[in-house]
Amino acid sequence: MAQTNEFQHDLADLQKKYDPKRTELKSLNDEIDKLTKDLQDQGAKLTDVERATRARTIDDKKKQLDRVQQDAQSDFQNDMQQLINSVAGKVGAFMTDYAKGRGYTLVLDASDQQNATVLYAVPSTDITRAVIDGYNVKSGIPAPVAQGAGAGAGGVEAPQPQPSK
């Protein structure tokens, strides 16, 4: 599912959607770092009241950063789950039609290598690439343009089902 053009395209859109939030978080973090450095550099020259006021400001900014970060993470996870559910449902329906149309009686998901229940499978029975390619054609979504190193699914591990006949 994660290898389909549709998922890759929608994931890139999702990441772009959250770029402003990442920028906001970086800016807020940079501001906290600057305020902290300034307090350390000027601490001896400040009065106790000024030092306490600046420390309180830093603490308030840290709390704000934590709230914004938690909200952004929760929103991203919810959007990611919706994306996964949407594409997985479509790919699942396509895979079912594909398997039925070719006379398969069983398709196994061997993508979880630690808990895989497949002890042996002839590589020629692996329909993973055929299902992905067929779904990509059906969806009409072109492959994403390759980006530089480090670009990708943002740390998302692509599940790789390895069905067999």
pLDDT number for residue 96: 92
pTM of the predicted model as reported, rounded to 2 decimal places? 0.72
Greatest Cα pair distance, the chain, in angstroms, is 81
Q: pLDDT band at 161, cuts 50/70/90?
A: very low
Cα distance between residue 42 and residue 46, in whole Å: 6
Model confidence pLDDT, tens digit, residues 61-102:
999 999 999 999 999 999 999 999 999 999 999 999 999 999
The three-class DSSP label of residue 159 is: coil
- Above 50 in pLDDT, residue 150? no
pLDDT number for residue 7: 96
Cα distance between residue 106 and residue 46, in whole Å: 74
pLDDT number for residue 10: 96
pLDDT number for residue 156: 38
The three-class DSSP label of residue 28 is: helix
Question: How many CA atoms does the CB half-sphere of 126 hold within 13 Å?
Answer: 12
pLDDT number for residue 43: 83
Q: pLDDT band at 116, cuts 50/70/90?
A: low
Which residues, other chains included, contact 12 with Cβ-Cβ below 8 Å and sequence gap of 6+? Answer: 144
- Above 50 in pLDDT, residue 112? yes
pLDDT number for residue 159: 39
